[in-house]
Amino acid sequence: IDGGFIFRQLGIITFLMCIGFVLSTVMAAFIFNLASDIMGGIWVSVIEEESARPVRESNIETDLE
């Protein structure tokens, strides 16, 4: 077994896996869209919570002293 053979086989396997992942992603998107149409849509709500502390008002004159 030489390095060229292993490299060629690895390239072929990588190419086939890439095609397989692309096809599975397309099929998953198709099934998701089909299920959304049949069920009337899927709603996703995002809630943003306040995580920052409020800024304290400071008096500039007393801070400079």
Q: What is the DSSP string of 1-65?
A: --HHHHHHHHHHHHHHHHHHHHHHHHHHHHHHHHHHHHHT-----------SPPPPP--HHHHH-
Q: Is the pLDDT of residue 61 over 80?
A: no
pTM given for the model: 0.54
Q: What is the pLDDT of residues 9-41, one digit of tens each?
A: 999 999 999 999 999 999 999 998 998 888 877
> Could you tell me the residue ranges of all domains in the chain?
3-52
